[in-house]
Structure 1
Amino acid sequence: MAMDAIEIETLIKTALPDAHVEIRDLAGDGDHYAAVVISEAFRGKTRVQQHQMVYDALKGQMGGELHALALQTSAPDV
């Protein structure tokens, strides 16, 4: 069973309440998404740490219900 964009956004915003999240379905199949996530929680973190925070927010769905997620993460511009 595939995930929908709203479910992905909800999981991310639950873990990172201040996040600005944009989700795009890349293939129209509910399995391949691209996400832009901007959160103050990312400030001072490496890109790997930022992506891990997003993967943690997805509660183990990566590789299961969610096959692929291309991530762009950053802290907000000051």
Structure 2
Amino acid sequence: MPVAKDDLERMLKESFPDATLRIDDLAGDGDHYRAVIVSEAFRGKSRIQQHQLVYAALGGRMGGELHALALTTSAPN
């Protein structure tokens, strides 16, 4: 079952409450998204560590309910 855009946003906001989020449904199918996440939680972390935090926030849905997620992550300027 696909992940609704609102559910994806909720999961990310729960883990990154300070985040500025932009989520785009790339294919209109609830399986392919692009997310731009700016959060203080990413400060001082490598890109890999940042993405690992996002995957952890999704609770194992990557590769199952959520087929593809193009990520852009950063700390605020």
If the TM-score is normalised by the length of the shorter chain, which range does it land in? over 0.9
Distance 2:21 2:4 in 1: 14
Identity percentage over the alignment?
A: 64
Q: Give the deviation of 1:7 after TM superposition.
A: 0.6
Distance 2:76 2:6 in 1: 22
TM-score for the superposition, normalised by structure 1: 0.96
SS at match of 2:69: strand
How many residue pairs get aligned? The number is 77
Q: Give the deviation of 1:16 after TM superposition.
A: 1.1
Segments of 4+ moved more than 2 angstroms: none
Tell me what 2:20 maps to: 20
Q: Give the deviation of 1:43 after TM superposition.
A: 0.4
Distance 1:22 1:4 in 2: 14
